[in-house]
Amino acid sequence: MYSIIDIETTGNHAHRHSITEVAIINFDGEKITDQFSTLVQPDVPIPDFISHLTGITNEMVEHAPRWEEVMEAIDDFTRNRILIAHNAHFDYSFLKSAFLQSGKSFQRKTLCTLRLSRKIFPGLQSYSLRKLCAHFNIQSQSFHRALVDAVAALELFKLCSREDRNGIIQSSLKKTPGEYTLPPHLPKEIIPSLPDEAGVYYFLDQLQRILYVGKAKNIRARIIQHFTANSSTRVRTRLMNSIHHIRYESCGNELIAMLMESAEIKKHFPPFNVIQKISENNFGVYCYEDGKGYLRFALKKLHRTDQPLISFSSLQEARVFLNEKITEFHLCPKLCNLQRSIAACHDHAAGNCDGACIGEVSAEDYNARVREALSAMKQDSITCAIVGDGRNEKERSIVIMENGKYLGYGFAPVASVGEETSVTPSPYFESLKEIIQPQRDNREVQMIIRAYLRTHSDYQLQM
C-alpha cells in the first residue's frame, strides 16, 4: 500500500544533480513487508560538502550500480503504491527526472510527512525530520543516509496516522494531481479564484509579509507554473513552505505589470526576489556652452527636478555612453568632462583628438559634431506616451517618458484618452501627464520600456 522512500543526491536541483542512494520501505499500514536499499553511481563527482553531510564519498559509489541498473527494481518495488517521504516533492522530483532522462515515465501518488506534520502537529518551532524525531522521541541513528531517514519517516508517518483526528491523511489522498504541488499552508480554493489576466502577484507569509513579487500575462497560469515546476532547490522549498496567502493586482497589460513589479520589488525588497534589487542612484548627461563658445557635455547626479538629455542608473554607465559618443563623433574627452588636464587632452597626443581642447579646431566646426551627437542622443532620449489596454474595456493605461526620463503610469477612461494614436498635440500630452502616478526613474524601467516599444511601436504616442 505504501512505499516510504528517501534518496541522497549530489545537490538540490533535479535537473542538474544526480541520485547517490535510494532506500525504500514497503509498509501495509501495520507492518513492514519488504525493503530495498542501494548506493547509486552518479554521473558527476560528489561535492565535498555533500560527502561531509551524507557520509557518502566518491570511493563508496565507484563500483555501485548505475541508475539504469536499479530503476526497474525501483519501478517494480513502488508500483501501485503511495510514495511517502519527508519533503516528498524533493524525492519525487528527482525520481521523475531520473526516469525521464532514461526515457521512461514515473507517476505515483505521494504523501509528505512534512506537510502532514504541519497540519496534525501545528505550532512546532521546526518541522525538519531531525527536529521532529527529537521532539517525539523517535529513535534514529545519524541522519542523511537514505535507509536511516526512510525508517525515521516511517515512524513519523505511523505517529501522524495515530494522531490524525481530522482525517487529514485521507483528505490528502483524495487530492487531485495538481493539488499535490501546492504549498502546504495555501488553501486549495485560492488557485481557482485567481484571474487569467495580466498583473502582479504577491506571495505572503502567515503574517501577511511579502515573500515574493512576480508579474504575469496570466496570473493564474503563472502561479500554477511556480507550484508545478520540477525543481527542488533549498530556496524554493523554503519559499513553498512559507506561503500562506496570495494577493494580486490586475494591470491590464504586460508593460504595466513589468513596471509595477519593478517598483514593488524596490519598495518592499522581498526576501525571495534577488534579480531586480538594483541601485536607483541615477546620473544624467547634460550639454552646455562654455565661455569660448564650445558645446560641452557633463555628467551629474540627478535630482527630482532635473531634465537631463538622458539618464543612467550609475556613473559608470553614463561614462561608457559618453565614451561611445566621443568615438563615434570624434569629440574631445576633455570637453566632455571625462578627462582633466591643464593643456590638451590625453587623446590629442595619440592622434584621437583633433585639438578642440586647445583651440586648433574652431568652435563652429567642433559644435557641428556635438550637434550630430545631440541628435543621436535624442533618439535615446524618448518623449512619448504609451497607451495600452486597461483593466477593463472602459479604460486605457498610460505610460509617460519625457526627455528620456520615466515619469510614471496610470489609468484613464477611454473617452479622456481617445482612440486616435497617431497625433499627440503638446496640450494633450500635458493632460496625460496629470493622469499618471509618479514613479521613480531608473535604467531598469527604461530598458523595460525600450524593449517593449521595439515590438509595440503602434502604441507609442510621440511629441
C-alpha cell at 457: 511601436
DSSP class per residue in 399-437: EEEETTEEEEEEEEEHHHH-S--S---HHHHHHHHTTSE
d(CA 387, CA 430): 14
The DSSP element (H or E) to which 19 belongs, if any, is strand 19-27
Active site residue 144: yes
* The one-letter amino acid at 318: A
Per the document, the length of the chain is 463
Give the Å distances, CA to CA, from 45 to 21, 85, 98: 14, 25, 17
> Rounded to the nearest 5 degrees, what angle is found at the Cα of 127, between the Cα atoms of 9 and 2?
65
Among 13, 18, 10, 16, residue whose Cα is nearest residue 235: 13
H or E element at residue 22: strand 19-27
Whole-angstrom Cα distance, residue 52 to residue 10? 11
* Cβ-Cβ contacts under 8 Å for 146 (sequence gap 6 or more): 6, 7, 8, 21, 22, 23, 37
Extended strands (E) in 116-250: 199-204, 210-216, 245-250
Q: One of 13, 63, 89, 144 is an active-site residue; which one? A: 144
Query: Cα(463)–Cα(426) distance, rounded to whole angstroms?
Result: 7
By annotation, the residues acting in catalysis are 144
